[in-house]
Amino acid sequence: MKKEWKSTLKEAWKTLKEFVSKGERKHWRGAVNDIREFYLSSEEQEKLKKKGFIVRWLLLAWWTLGGMVKRLSPIRGIFLVIGLLLLFRVVGYGVGSERDGAPLLGGLIILFILMVELKDKVVAKDELKEGRAIQIALMPEPNPVFPGWSIWLYSSPANDVGGDLIDYLQLDKDRAMVALGDVAGKGLPAALMMARIQSTLRALAPEFPDISALAARVNDILCRDGIKSRFASLLYAFLSTENDKITFVNAGHFPPVVVRKNAVKEAGKGGIALGLKPGTAYKQQELKLNAGELVVVYSDGLTEAQNEAGEFFG
Protein backbone atom coordinates (compact mmCIF):
# COMPACT_ATOMS: atom_id res chain seq x y z
CA MET A 1 0.00 0.00 0.00
CA LYS A 2 2.86 2.37 0.90
CA LYS A 3 4.62 1.71 -2.42
CA GLU A 4 1.40 2.34 -4.36
CA TRP A 5 0.91 5.63 -2.50
CA LYS A 6 4.44 6.81 -3.30
CA SER A 7 4.02 5.72 -6.92
CA THR A 8 0.80 7.72 -7.21
CA LEU A 9 2.47 10.82 -5.79
CA LYS A 10 5.42 10.50 -8.17
CA GLU A 11 3.07 10.10 -11.12
CA ALA A 12 1.10 13.17 -10.06
CA TRP A 13 4.34 15.14 -9.71
CA LYS A 14 5.45 14.04 -13.17
CA THR A 15 2.11 15.12 -14.66
CA LEU A 16 2.37 18.49 -12.93
CA LYS A 17 5.89 19.06 -14.31
CA GLU A 18 4.63 18.33 -17.83
CA PHE A 19 1.72 20.73 -17.39
CA VAL A 20 3.77 23.63 -16.02
CA SER A 21 6.15 25.30 -18.47
CA LYS A 22 9.91 25.12 -17.96
CA GLY A 23 10.10 28.87 -17.29
CA GLU A 24 7.41 28.68 -14.61
CA ARG A 25 9.13 25.69 -12.98
CA LYS A 26 12.38 27.64 -12.87
CA HIS A 27 10.58 30.62 -11.31
CA TRP A 28 8.93 28.54 -8.57
CA ARG A 29 12.12 26.58 -7.95
CA GLY A 30 13.92 29.87 -7.36
CA ALA A 31 11.11 31.04 -5.06
CA VAL A 32 11.35 27.85 -2.98
CA ASN A 33 15.14 28.24 -2.74
CA ASP A 34 14.73 31.84 -1.58
CA ILE A 35 12.20 30.79 1.08
CA ARG A 36 14.48 28.00 2.29
CA GLU A 37 17.52 30.28 2.56
CA PHE A 38 15.55 33.06 4.27
CA TYR A 39 13.52 31.15 6.85
CA LEU A 40 15.64 28.06 7.55
CA SER A 41 18.91 27.86 9.43
CA SER A 42 21.97 26.33 7.78
CA GLU A 43 21.58 23.22 9.97
CA GLU A 44 17.96 22.76 8.89
CA GLN A 45 18.93 23.17 5.24
CA GLU A 46 21.56 20.45 5.60
CA LYS A 47 19.06 18.11 7.26
CA LEU A 48 16.60 18.62 4.40
CA LYS A 49 19.14 17.35 1.87
CA LYS A 50 19.28 13.98 3.65
CA LYS A 51 15.51 13.44 3.74
CA GLY A 52 13.25 11.76 1.22
CA PHE A 53 10.98 13.70 -1.11
CA ILE A 54 7.80 13.63 1.02
CA VAL A 55 9.51 14.12 4.39
CA ARG A 56 11.61 16.92 2.92
CA TRP A 57 8.57 18.90 1.82
CA LEU A 58 6.71 18.33 5.10
CA LEU A 59 9.71 19.50 7.11
CA LEU A 60 10.20 22.46 4.77
CA ALA A 61 6.60 23.57 5.37
CA TRP A 62 6.84 23.11 9.16
CA TRP A 63 10.23 24.78 9.58
CA THR A 64 9.23 27.61 7.25
CA LEU A 65 6.13 28.27 9.36
CA GLY A 66 8.30 28.32 12.48
CA GLY A 67 10.77 30.66 10.81
CA MET A 68 7.96 33.02 9.80
CA VAL A 69 6.65 33.18 13.37
CA LYS A 70 10.14 33.89 14.75
CA ARG A 71 10.61 36.78 12.33
CA LEU A 72 7.37 38.52 13.29
CA SER A 73 7.62 41.66 15.40
CA PRO A 74 6.67 41.10 19.09
CA ILE A 75 3.27 42.80 18.75
CA ARG A 76 2.39 40.82 15.63
CA GLY A 77 3.54 37.63 17.31
CA ILE A 78 1.21 38.32 20.24
CA PHE A 79 -1.73 38.93 17.91
CA LEU A 80 -0.90 35.73 16.00
CA VAL A 81 -1.03 33.71 19.23
CA ILE A 82 -4.36 35.33 20.13
CA GLY A 83 -5.71 34.58 16.66
CA LEU A 84 -4.65 30.93 16.84
CA LEU A 85 -6.21 30.53 20.30
CA LEU A 86 -9.48 32.00 19.09
CA LEU A 87 -9.38 29.97 15.89
CA PHE A 88 -9.09 26.64 17.72
CA ARG A 89 -11.14 27.60 20.77
CA VAL A 90 -14.22 26.06 19.17
CA VAL A 91 -12.85 22.60 20.02
CA GLY A 92 -14.97 21.20 22.86
CA TYR A 93 -17.90 23.50 22.26
CA GLY A 94 -21.01 22.61 20.34
CA VAL A 95 -22.68 24.56 17.60
CA GLY A 96 -24.81 27.31 19.00
CA SER A 97 -22.59 28.04 21.97
CA GLU A 98 -21.65 31.60 22.84
CA ARG A 99 -18.15 31.10 21.43
CA ASP A 100 -19.22 30.29 17.84
CA GLY A 101 -17.80 33.63 16.67
CA ALA A 102 -14.35 33.02 18.16
CA PRO A 103 -12.94 31.06 15.19
CA LEU A 104 -14.09 33.75 12.77
CA LEU A 105 -12.46 36.48 14.85
CA GLY A 106 -9.27 34.43 15.13
CA GLY A 107 -9.20 33.86 11.38
CA LEU A 108 -9.68 37.58 10.73
CA ILE A 109 -6.80 38.44 13.08
CA ILE A 110 -4.49 35.97 11.31
CA LEU A 111 -5.62 37.27 7.90
CA PHE A 112 -4.91 40.84 9.01
CA ILE A 113 -1.39 39.89 10.16
CA LEU A 114 -0.72 38.17 6.82
CA MET A 115 -1.95 41.26 4.94
CA VAL A 116 0.35 43.55 6.94
CA GLU A 117 3.31 41.20 6.39
CA LEU A 118 2.53 41.02 2.67
CA LYS A 119 2.38 44.81 2.48
CA ASP A 120 5.81 45.07 4.11
CA LYS A 121 7.25 42.50 1.71
CA VAL A 122 5.76 44.24 -1.35
CA VAL A 123 7.19 47.60 -0.25
CA ALA A 124 10.60 46.01 0.35
CA LYS A 125 10.42 44.25 -3.03
CA ASP A 126 9.66 47.54 -4.80
CA GLU A 127 12.58 49.21 -3.05
CA LEU A 128 14.88 46.36 -4.08
CA LYS A 129 13.73 46.74 -7.68
CA GLU A 130 14.61 50.43 -7.54
CA GLY A 131 17.97 49.49 -6.05
CA ARG A 132 18.51 46.99 -8.86
CA ALA A 133 17.74 49.70 -11.43
CA ILE A 134 20.36 51.93 -9.81
CA GLN A 135 22.91 49.09 -9.84
CA ILE A 136 22.28 48.48 -13.53
CA ALA A 137 22.74 52.19 -14.22
CA LEU A 138 26.11 52.09 -12.41
CA MET A 139 27.35 49.14 -14.45
CA PRO A 140 29.63 49.81 -17.43
CA GLU A 141 28.92 48.82 -21.00
CA PRO A 142 29.30 45.05 -21.52
CA ASN A 143 31.82 45.57 -24.35
CA PRO A 144 33.78 48.78 -23.71
CA VAL A 145 36.00 49.93 -26.56
CA PHE A 146 39.66 50.43 -25.73
CA PRO A 147 42.30 50.48 -28.51
CA GLY A 148 44.33 47.28 -28.74
CA TRP A 149 42.17 45.31 -26.30
CA SER A 150 38.94 43.29 -26.41
CA ILE A 151 36.96 43.50 -23.17
CA TRP A 152 33.80 41.59 -22.18
CA LEU A 153 31.97 42.27 -18.91
CA TYR A 154 29.03 40.31 -17.48
CA SER A 155 27.23 40.16 -14.13
CA SER A 156 24.06 38.39 -12.96
CA PRO A 157 23.28 38.83 -9.23
CA ALA A 158 21.67 36.03 -7.23
CA ASN A 159 19.13 38.50 -5.78
CA ASP A 160 17.49 41.69 -7.00
CA VAL A 161 20.53 43.53 -5.68
CA GLY A 162 23.89 42.03 -4.83
CA GLY A 163 27.47 42.66 -3.83
CA ASP A 164 29.17 41.80 -7.11
CA LEU A 165 31.34 44.67 -8.32
CA ILE A 166 32.18 44.96 -11.99
CA ASP A 167 33.49 48.21 -13.41
CA TYR A 168 35.43 49.77 -16.26
CA LEU A 169 36.85 53.27 -16.41
CA GLN A 170 38.99 54.83 -19.12
CA LEU A 171 41.36 57.12 -17.27
CA ASP A 172 42.71 58.85 -20.38
CA LYS A 173 43.29 58.01 -24.04
CA ASP A 174 46.10 55.55 -23.18
CA ARG A 175 44.99 54.07 -19.84
CA ALA A 176 41.98 52.15 -18.58
CA MET A 177 41.08 50.17 -15.49
CA VAL A 178 38.91 47.08 -15.02
CA ALA A 179 37.72 46.00 -11.58
CA LEU A 180 35.92 42.88 -10.41
CA GLY A 181 35.03 42.33 -6.77
CA ASP A 182 32.72 40.46 -4.46
CA VAL A 183 31.39 41.80 -1.18
CA ALA A 184 30.82 39.30 1.63
CA GLY A 185 27.10 38.57 2.01
CA LYS A 186 24.14 39.20 -0.24
CA GLY A 187 21.29 41.60 -0.70
CA LEU A 188 21.04 45.29 0.13
CA PRO A 189 23.92 45.56 2.68
CA ALA A 190 26.35 43.99 0.20
CA ALA A 191 25.03 46.20 -2.61
CA LEU A 192 25.56 49.37 -0.57
CA MET A 193 29.14 48.40 0.24
CA MET A 194 29.74 47.54 -3.40
CA ALA A 195 28.54 51.01 -4.46
CA ARG A 196 30.88 52.57 -1.92
CA ILE A 197 33.90 50.62 -3.17
CA GLN A 198 33.05 51.48 -6.77
CA SER A 199 32.75 55.20 -6.05
CA THR A 200 35.99 55.15 -4.03
CA LEU A 201 37.87 53.42 -6.84
CA ARG A 202 36.56 55.84 -9.45
CA ALA A 203 37.47 58.85 -7.31
CA LEU A 204 41.00 57.69 -6.46
CA ALA A 205 42.07 55.84 -9.63
CA PRO A 206 43.14 58.95 -11.62
CA GLU A 207 45.35 60.06 -8.72
CA PHE A 208 47.09 56.70 -8.14
CA PRO A 209 49.13 55.46 -11.11
CA ASP A 210 50.60 52.87 -8.73
CA ILE A 211 47.75 50.36 -8.38
CA SER A 212 49.29 48.64 -5.34
CA ALA A 213 49.17 51.99 -3.53
CA LEU A 214 45.58 52.44 -4.73
CA ALA A 215 44.54 49.07 -3.29
CA ALA A 216 46.23 49.89 0.03
CA ARG A 217 44.43 53.24 0.17
CA VAL A 218 41.01 51.72 -0.56
CA ASN A 219 41.65 49.07 2.09
CA ASP A 220 42.53 51.69 4.71
CA ILE A 221 39.34 53.64 3.91
CA LEU A 222 37.18 50.53 4.29
CA CYS A 223 38.91 49.57 7.54
CA ARG A 224 38.37 53.07 8.90
CA ASP A 225 34.79 53.70 7.79
CA GLY A 226 33.36 50.26 7.08
CA ILE A 227 31.53 47.71 9.22
CA LYS A 228 33.83 45.22 10.94
CA SER A 229 31.93 42.15 9.75
CA ARG A 230 31.97 43.33 6.13
CA PHE A 231 34.85 42.85 3.71
CA ALA A 232 35.32 42.49 -0.02
CA SER A 233 37.60 40.75 -2.46
CA LEU A 234 38.83 42.79 -5.41
CA LEU A 235 40.88 42.29 -8.53
CA TYR A 236 41.90 45.62 -10.03
CA ALA A 237 43.58 45.57 -13.45
CA PHE A 238 45.32 48.32 -15.39
CA LEU A 239 45.45 48.33 -19.21
CA SER A 240 47.53 50.48 -21.53
CA THR A 241 47.62 51.08 -25.27
CA GLU A 242 51.41 51.36 -25.07
CA ASN A 243 52.09 47.67 -24.30
CA ASP A 244 50.49 44.22 -24.18
CA LYS A 245 50.69 43.79 -20.41
CA ILE A 246 47.96 43.58 -17.79
CA THR A 247 49.08 45.04 -14.48
CA PHE A 248 46.85 44.02 -11.59
CA VAL A 249 46.44 43.72 -7.84
CA ASN A 250 44.55 40.83 -6.28
CA ALA A 251 43.02 41.50 -2.86
CA GLY A 252 41.61 38.16 -1.75
CA HIS A 253 39.91 37.39 -5.06
CA PHE A 254 40.06 34.26 -7.20
CA PRO A 255 43.28 34.16 -9.25
CA PRO A 256 42.70 35.16 -12.88
CA VAL A 257 42.85 32.34 -15.41
CA VAL A 258 45.25 32.83 -18.33
CA VAL A 259 44.24 31.05 -21.54
CA ARG A 260 47.24 30.72 -23.83
CA LYS A 261 47.58 28.84 -27.10
CA ASN A 262 48.99 25.68 -25.52
CA ALA A 263 48.07 26.00 -21.85
CA VAL A 264 45.49 27.19 -19.34
CA LYS A 265 46.74 28.18 -15.90
CA GLU A 266 46.01 30.44 -12.97
CA ALA A 267 48.00 33.56 -12.25
CA GLY A 268 49.58 34.05 -8.85
CA LYS A 269 47.45 34.49 -5.76
CA GLY A 270 47.10 37.87 -4.10
CA GLY A 271 46.84 39.36 -0.63
CA ILE A 272 44.01 39.47 1.90
CA ALA A 273 40.58 40.93 1.17
CA LEU A 274 39.81 44.62 1.57
CA GLY A 275 38.48 45.88 4.88
CA LEU A 276 40.09 43.29 7.14
CA LYS A 277 43.43 44.74 8.23
CA PRO A 278 44.54 48.39 8.00
CA GLY A 279 48.01 49.08 6.69
CA THR A 280 48.08 46.03 4.43
CA ALA A 281 50.51 46.20 1.50
CA TYR A 282 49.42 44.68 -1.79
CA LYS A 283 51.69 43.21 -4.43
CA GLN A 284 51.48 44.41 -8.02
CA GLN A 285 51.55 41.62 -10.62
CA GLU A 286 51.92 41.57 -14.41
CA LEU A 287 50.70 39.34 -17.21
CA LYS A 288 52.10 39.60 -20.73
CA LEU A 289 49.68 38.52 -23.44
CA ASN A 290 50.19 37.60 -27.05
CA ALA A 291 47.60 38.08 -29.77
CA GLY A 292 44.58 35.79 -29.27
CA GLU A 293 45.31 34.97 -25.62
CA LEU A 294 42.77 35.59 -22.86
CA VAL A 295 42.61 36.49 -19.19
CA VAL A 296 39.41 35.39 -17.42
CA VAL A 297 38.48 37.06 -14.13
CA TYR A 298 35.45 35.68 -12.28
CA SER A 299 33.65 35.63 -8.93
CA ASP A 300 32.12 32.87 -6.78
CA GLY A 301 28.96 32.93 -8.91
CA LEU A 302 30.89 30.87 -11.45
CA THR A 303 32.42 28.38 -9.03
CA GLU A 304 29.08 27.88 -7.23
CA ALA A 305 26.93 27.58 -10.36
CA GLN A 306 24.54 24.61 -10.33
CA ASN A 307 22.33 22.88 -12.86
CA GLU A 308 18.59 22.30 -12.44
CA ALA A 309 19.26 19.22 -10.30
CA GLY A 310 21.29 21.30 -7.84
CA GLU A 311 24.60 19.76 -8.94
CA PHE A 312 27.77 21.82 -9.36
CA PHE A 313 29.07 22.08 -12.93
CA GLY A 314 32.67 21.45 -12.02
Instruction: CATH number of the domain at 263, please.
Output: 3.60.40.10
In a domain, residue 248? The reply is yes
Residues 86, 167, single domain; the answer is no
The residue range of the domain holding 102 is 2-121
Output the pLDDT for position 39.
76
For residue 311, is it within any domain?
Answer: no
- Do 95 and 17 lie in one domain? The reply is yes
The verdict on residue 111 lying in a domain is yes
Instruction: Confirm whether 131 is domain-assigned.
Output: no
How many of the other CB atoms lie within 10 Å of CB of 33?
13
Q: How do the pLDDT tens digits run along the chain, 314 residues long?
A: 555 556 666 666 666 566 555 556 666 676 777 777 777 787 888 888 888 878 888 888 888 878 777 888 888 888 888 888 887 765 445 444 555 677 788 888 888 888 888 788 777 777 777 777 777 777 888 889 999 899 999 887 666 677 788 899 999 889 999 999 988 877 778 888 888 899 999 999 988 889 999 999 999 999 988 777 789 999 999 999 888 899 999 999 999 999 988 888 888 788 899 999 999 999 999 999 888 889 999 887 776 666 665 565 55
CA atoms of 216 and 105, how far apart (whole Å): 62
Judgement on whether residues 163 and 292 belong to the same structural domain of the protein: yes
Boundary residue ending a domain (121, 152, 167): 121
Q: Are residues 38 and 106 in the same domain?
A: yes
In a domain, 314, yes or no: no
Note whether 199 and 106 are same-domain residues: no
Secondary structure in 3-state letters for the chain: CHHHHHHHHHHHHHHHHHHCCHHHHHHHHHHHHHHHHHHCCHHHHHHHHCCCHHHHHHHHHHHHHHHHHHHCCHHHHHHHHHHHHHHCCCCCCCCCCCCCCHHHHHHHHHHHHHHHHHHHHHHHHHHHHHHHHHHHHHCCCCCCEECCEECCCCCCCCCCCCCEEEEEEECCCCEEEEEEEEECCCHHHHHHHHHHHHHHHHHHHHHCCCHHHHHHHHHHHHHHHCCCCCCEEEEEEEEECCCCEEEEEEECCCCCEEECCCCEEECCCCECCECCCCCCCCCEEEEECCCCCEEECCCHHHHCCECCCCCECC
Q: Which residues pair with residue 109 across a beta bridge?
A: none
Enumerate residues 6+ apart whose C-beta is below 8 A from 246. 237, 238, 239, 286, 287, 289, 295
Q: With beta carbons less than 8 A apart as the criterion, state whether 220 and 200 touch.
A: no
Q: How many domains does the chain have?
A: 2
Name the domain boundary from 92, 121, 150: 121
Q: Is 282 inside any structural domain?
A: yes
Q: Are 117 and 158 in a shared domain?
A: no
pLDDT reported for residue 95:
47
Residues 226, 101 share a domain: no
56 shares its domain with 97: yes
Q: Are residues 65 and 147 in the same domain?
A: no
Residue 310 forms part of a structural domain: no
**104/236 same-domain check:** no
Residues 99 and 214 in one domain: no
> Is 313 within the bounds of a domain?
no
Residue where a domain stops, chosen among 93, 121, 149: 121
Verify that 195 and 295 share a domain, yes or no. Answer: yes
pLDDT at 158 (0 to 100) = 61
pTM of the model: 0.65
